[in-house]
Amino acid sequence: MSPGSLTILVVEDHPTIARQIVDFLDGLKWQTDHAATGALAIDLATRETYDVILLDLNLPDIDGIDVCRAIKARAPRNVPVLMLTARDAFEDKARGFNGGADDYLTKPFDLRELALRCEALARRGQLHVGQALRVGPLTLLTRERRALHNGTPVPLTQAGFKILSALCAAQPHAVSRSALTHALWGTNPPDSDALKSHIYALRKQLQLAGAPDMIVTIPQLGYRLALEAADHV
């Protein structure tokens, strides 16, 4: 990231709002990409590197919370996500932050404030590039795509690392099956229930490193990471 220049992904399905944001950021000489759907946003965030992602909560194809979780799990690095929404209730904001958002801006907003928040998030994101993510006894080395349990390497597959990354990012909250499916396969999931097989394999991989069964199944929702034995189901 060069001084004064940012690379932004704008995820907004309303064409007028998207155009206003993109034109304003282009006027700052920032580089912008635009996605009108959650599927395209996940694809771009996986293939490209952004300083900040502006994510509308209401998208036509995928819930914005699931998009956020998939991006956090699949992006090349932990890119900051600024969630944009017309919902201003505390419960909506809590849902956004619990879904992995780094900041929250309610519509309508001043584009100058949007730019200031982007700059602050980008600075914060640069401080954490390459750093390890620690959740209880687990340490995720994002650059190396490795995990440790109390210092012992966990023999993860690529799919296992993606799942564990999503669970760690959301902990103590659950990650939906749809978000994990997008994290693994994007918009082309397999017909069979391969996610269950990968969850089973991840549990075995954690056990090989001496970890207890810390992946909890939440009926009708997905999975979460439990760090206390009493939480196991």
Domain segments of the chain as ranges: 7-128, 132-231
Is residue 147 within a helix (H) or strand (E), and if so which, with residue range? strand 146-149
For β-strands 222-225 and 175-176, DSSP reports them as antiparallel
**Mean pLDDT score, 75-91:** 80
Euclidean distance between CA atoms 151 and 175, whole angstroms: 25
Six token digits for residue 226: 């439990």
Average per-residue pLDDT in the chain? 84
> Phi-psi category of 54—alpha, beta or left, where left has phi over 0 and alpha has psi -120 to 50?
beta
Helices (H), the chain: 15-27, 38-47, 64-74, 90-98, 111-128, 158-170, 177-185, 194-208
Residue 187 has a pLDDT of: 67
**Mean pLDDT score, 22-47:** 94
Asked whether residue 19 carries a pLDDT value surpassing 90, the answer given is yes
**Mean pLDDT score, 117-122:** 86
Asked whether residue 23 carries a pLDDT value surpassing 90, the answer given is yes
Percent over 90 (pLDDT), the chain: 33
Residues 202-217 have pLDDT tens digits of: 999 998 888 888 899 9
HSE of 157, CA atoms in CB hemisphere, 13 A: 13
**Mean pLDDT score, 31-48:** 93
Q: Are residues 67 and 42 in contact, defined by beta-carbon separation less than 8 angstroms? A: yes
Q: 32: which strand partners?
A: 8
Q: Comparing 6 with 133, which gets the higher pLDDT?
A: 6
Does the pTM exceed 0.75? no
> Nearest 5°: phi and psi at 161?
-65, -40
Asked whether residue 1 carries a pLDDT value surpassing 50, the answer given is no
Would you say the CATH fold of 132-231 matches that of 7-128?
Answer: no
Q: Are residues 149 and 137 in contact, defined by beta-carbon separation less than 8 angstroms? A: yes
CATH class of 7-128: alpha beta
**Mean pLDDT score, 130-158:** 82
> Nearest 5°: phi and psi at 160?
-60, -40
CATH fold of 132-231: Arc Repressor Mutant, subunit A (1.10.10)
Residues 5-14 have pLDDT tens digits of: 899 999 999 9
